[in-house]
Amino acid sequence: MSEKDVIEMTTTPHTIDSLAHDFRKLGLQRGMNIIVHSSLSSIGYVSGGAVAVVQALMQVITEQGTIVMPTHSGDLSDPKDWSNPPVPKDWRPLIRDTMPAFHPAYTSTRGMGQIVEVFRTFPEVLRSYHPSVSFAAWGKHASFIIQDHPLDNPMGEGSPLAKLYDLDGSILLIGVDHDSNSSLHLAEYRQTQQNKTTESASILWDGQRQWVTFESIDYQTELFPQVGAEFEVKHGVIQGKVGKAEVRLISQKKMVDFAAEWLNKR
């Protein structure tokens, strides 16, 4: 959506205070632990853009709670696996040989949106050390959530998603659907049958750049909208508006448990 379109869809600019009001009306409270998936343009025109959205969330949750966002960097991977878009075959060795190693401070996200990209740069925000599916966290449980992120099976047990589950966290979808709901990947790891796969990426190991291979599973993200829709019919979710965005607030534990059972039945 262009900036012109965003302006035209907005009656009055949204501000930190108006967004904080909307978040509280939805049910966000001081001390909650939440994972946020978002689309900035869906909110309408925001004075201060993504920075204002992050500040509004922090104002409501406070340091007594925890805000988590996925800071994935899928482009930091072997170019032979790229398909959207692919690169010429004869480029691949050069790209692989010169790809900068992952660094939590400056490796940018890919496809996560402006709110996430701004959030990861905020003071006191911590980022987990995983080259493709890192998470960033701020607040009371930030260190617990991001520390010791496993290289293998990085959205399964021991991951930031699993740690948020243990904290009985909540999922906040701002203007996005369940195909952006990364907690459903945790459910995939908890299903009985999984298709294993491997990925590789460039990291720093003992101060040296090197490529590492790690185990993962074939994700079934194309199923997530259906899983989410059936969950909402059975359990319901809190729905509301933040600015112009349709927003949903969901129990992560209930969502993951339902999705794991749903996937096993298939």
Flag whether pLDDT at 232 surpasses 90: yes
Averaged pLDDT of the chain: 95
The per-residue pLDDT for range 157-206, each reduced to its tens digit, is 999 999 999 999 999 999 999 999 999 999 999 998 889 999 999 999 88
Mean pLDDT of 140-148: 98
Q: What is the DSSP string of 153-209?
A: STTSTTSHHHHHHHTT-EEEEES--GGG-THHHHHHHTSS---EEEEEEEEEETTEE
Mean pLDDT of 202-217: 91
Q: What is the DSSP letter of 74?
A: T
- pLDDT band (50, 70, 90) for residue 1: confident
Flag whether pLDDT at 247 surpasses 90: yes
For residues 220 and 188, the answer to whether their CB atoms sit within 8 Å is yes
Mean pLDDT of 81-105: 93
Flag whether pLDDT at 8 surpasses 80: no
- pLDDT band (50, 70, 90) for residue 64: very high
Flag whether pLDDT at 3 surpasses 90: no
Distance CA 28, CA 41 (A): 21
- pLDDT band (50, 70, 90) for residue 84: confident
The answer to which of 20-34, 44-58, 73-87, 94-108 has the lowest mean pLDDT is: 73-87
Position 246 scores a pLDDT of 97
Asked if the peptide bond before residue 100 counts as cis, ω within 30 degrees of 0, the response is no
| Residue environment code for 43-59, b if the CB has 16+ CB neighbours within 10 A, otherwise e | bbbbeeebbbbbbbbbe
Q: What angle do CA 85, 178, 87 make, to 5 degrees?
A: 5
Between helix 252-265 and helix 224-235 the angle, nearest 10°, is 120
Mean pLDDT of 88-98: 94
Position 9 scores a pLDDT of 81
